[in-house]
Structure 1
Amino acid sequence: MPEKQATTQEAGPFNLFRPLLLLSFSAFYLIPTIYYSIIRFDFKPFRSFDDFKDAWFARFWTFFGPKSRQFAEPKVMPLLKNAATGVCLDIGPGSGEWLYLFGKANNGSITKIYGVEPNTGMHPKLRENAVKAGLGDKYEVVGCGAEELSSKAGFKRGSIDTIITVQCLCSIPTPEKIIKELYPLLKSGGKWLVYEHVKTKHQGDLVGYWQQGVNQVWPHFFNGCDITRPTDEWLLRAGEWQEVKLRAVDGEGKYDTIPHVVGHLVKR
C-alpha cells in the first residue's frame, strides 16, 4: 500500500499564489524566444503553435530547470541517489538537471541510461549535462516520445531494470496509456522511481477548484504540463507490483496547487 505522508509543517493559504509566480516566469520568456528566433533566422518556431511552445519552453527551462532542481532537491535526491541500477529509462529528462545523481561517483551500478526526450531543443543541454556528470559513454539521448519506445525505438519487453519519471508524466500525451505501455518494458523485480505532479487529494476544498482553474492556462505556459492528473492512481493500476512505496511530499497539503507524489514501485 502507498506510504502515509510524514507529519510536517504545511504551507499556509498564501501558497495558493505560487502558481501565478511560476506562470509569470514562463511568460517572461515569450519575448526572448521571438527575438532570438528572428535574429538567428530560425523560423521553425513560427511554423506551428506546437513548434513555438517547444522553443519557448526549451529557452525557459534552460533557465528555470536548475532553479526547480534546487527547490525539489531535498525530496528527489534521496529517491534517485544510488536507487537506479542496470539499464535505465530516463523519461522526459528535459535539459538533464538530475543527471549528476547518476554519475559514477554517486551511482556505479548503472550500465546504461536512455534519456527519452522528444523536445529536440533540450538535446544540446541534455548531452552537455550527461558529459558533465561523467555519463558520456553511458547516456544515450532517444529523440522520440515515450509512447514510441517499442514501435520506433525498438525497446523489448522485460529489457529495463529501472524506469525514472521525474516531473514528466504530467506533460506526455495519453499518460495512462503510456504508463501501461512502459510497465511491460520493466523486468520482474525492476524498479520504477517516481517524483510527479498529481491531482490534489483535497477535492471539494478551495484548492481543488483553484487547481482546476489554474490548469486552464498552465499547460500552455509549461509545454503541456497538466497538474490535475491522478498519476499515482494510474501507476498503481498499471500492473502487478510486489512493493509500493509512494507518499505525498512532506509539507504539501491543502494549500498546494501543484502537489507531488514521491517514491518507488517494484514489479512483481
Structure 2
Amino acid sequence: MCKWFTRLYDTLMEPLERRGFREIRKNLVRKAEGKVLEIGSGTGLNFPFYEKAEQVIAIEPEPLMREKSIPRVTAARVRIEVISAGAEDLPFPDNSFDTVVGTLVLCTIPDSYKAMEEIRRVCKPDGKVLFFEHVRLNHPVLCRLQDWLTPVWKRLCDGCHLNRNTLELIGQIGFEVIRVEGYARDLFLVIEATNKK
C-alpha cells in the first residue's frame, strides 16, 4: 500500500464520513451477529459500531493500517482481533463465521472473485454477508468514464478499481441478495445477502 495513502486515509475519508458514510457504516455493521469476519478493516472505522457480535476477527494486510486501528480496537464494545491476512486466501476453516462484513474494500482486492469465493467458503450456511461498496454505474456514459479513469485512480488510490460490478459478482458467487440500497445515484451500494450453500 502507498505509505502516503495509508497515512492520510482517515483525513481523506473524514468529509465523506461526516456527509453520511459514518451513519451508513453504523446502520450496516450493527446488524453483524455471532462470530464476525471483517474483510480489509483498514484503520478500524467500523469498530465502534459492532453491538451484537460475540467476537470480531478483522483481517488487514497493511501493517500501518493495522497499527492505526489499535485505538479503535481498544475502545470497541466487543472483542476485536486484527490479523494480517489477505482476502484471497483466508486462514480459517470452512463455515467459521456467522457474519462477514466489508466496507469500501472489494474495490482494492486484486482478485475480487477469489476473495468472494473465500468469503463464501468461511461463511456458515445461511450466514449474513454485509457490504458497503462503490460500484460500476449502470449508465452508458458514466460507466465508460469509470473505465477510463480506473487505471490512473488505481495508481493514486492504492489499487482501487472504480468500475467493479460488485453486486453482479456477489450474485455470481452464489450469495442470495436480500437487500440493496443505493446512495449518490447508486455509485455506492449497501448490499445484504445470505450464504445459500
Q: TM-score, normalised by structure 2?
A: 0.91
Q: Conserved in 2, the CA contact under 8 Å of 1:198 and 1:231?
A: yes
Letter in 1 for 2:58: G
Which protein shows a greater Rg?
1
Where does residue 149 of structure 2 map in the other structure? 214
Identify unmatched segments of 5+ residues in structure 2.
Answer: none
Supply the distance in 1 between the matched residues of 2:65 and 2:56 (Cα, whole angstroms).
Answer: 17
Where does residue 122 of structure 1 map in the other structure? 65
Q: Conserved in 2, the CA contact under 8 Å of 1:69 and 1:98?
A: no
Letter in 2 for 1:247: E
The Cα offsets for residues 120-170 of structure 1, whole Å up to 9 and x where unpaired, read as 1111221211112234xx111111111121xxx3x0111100000100000
The Cα offsets for residues 35-91 of structure 1, whole Å up to 9 and x where unpaired, read as xxxxxxxxxxxxxxxxxx43122111132233332231233332222x001111111
Where does residue 87 of structure 2 map in the other structure? 146
Runs of at least 4 residues off by over 3 Å: 65-68
Supply the distance in 1 between the matched residues of 2:157 and 2:115 (Cα, whole angstroms).
Answer: 20
Q: Conserved in 1, the CA contact under 8 Å of 2:43 and 2:66?
A: yes
Supply the distance in 2 between the matched residues of 1:181 and 1:74 (Cα, whole angstroms).
Answer: 28
Q: Are positions 1:186 and 2:120 aligned together?
A: no
Q: CA deviation at 1:248?
A: 2.3
Q: Conserved in 1, the CA contact under 8 Å of 2:130 and 2:191?
A: yes
- Structure in which a larger fraction of residues adopt strand: 2
1:224 counterpart (150, 159, 162)? 159
Secondary structure of the 1:187 match is strand
Supply the distance in 2 between the matched residues of 1:148 and 1:127 (Cα, whole angstroms).
Answer: 24
Letter in 1 for 2:25: V
Q: Conserved in 2, the CA contact under 8 Å of 1:58 and 1:122?
A: yes
Supply the distance in 1 between the matched residues of 2:73 and 2:14 (Cα, whole angstroms).
Answer: 14
Q: Are positions 1:245 and 2:179 aligned together?
A: yes
Query: In structure 2, do the counterparts of structure 1 residues 262 and 182 end up closer, same or farther at CA, with 3 Å as the change threshold?
Result: same
Supply the distance in 1 between the matched residues of 2:44 and 2:56 (Cα, whole angstroms).
Answer: 12
Letter in 2 for 1:59: R
Q: Conserved in 1, the CA contact under 8 Å of 2:178 and 2:194?
A: yes
Where does residue 79 of structure 1 map in the other structure? 28
Where does residue 175 of structure 1 map in the other structure? 112
Q: Conserved in 1, the CA contact under 8 Å of 2:59 and 2:84?
A: yes
Question: Higher relative contact order by CA 8 Å / sep ≥ 6: 1 or 2?
Answer: 1
Where does residue 91 of structure 1 map in the other structure? 39
Q: Conserved in 2, the CA contact under 8 Å of 1:65 and 1:97?
A: no
Identify unmatched segments of 5+ residues in structure 1.
Answer: 1-52, 254-258
Q: TM-score, normalised by structure 1?
A: 0.68
Q: CA deviation at 1:220?
A: 1.1
Letter in 2 for 1:141: V
- Say how many residue pairs are matched: 195
Q: CA deviation at 1:240?
A: 4.7
Cα RMSD (Å): 1.7
- Identity in percent: 26
Letter in 2 for 1:89: L
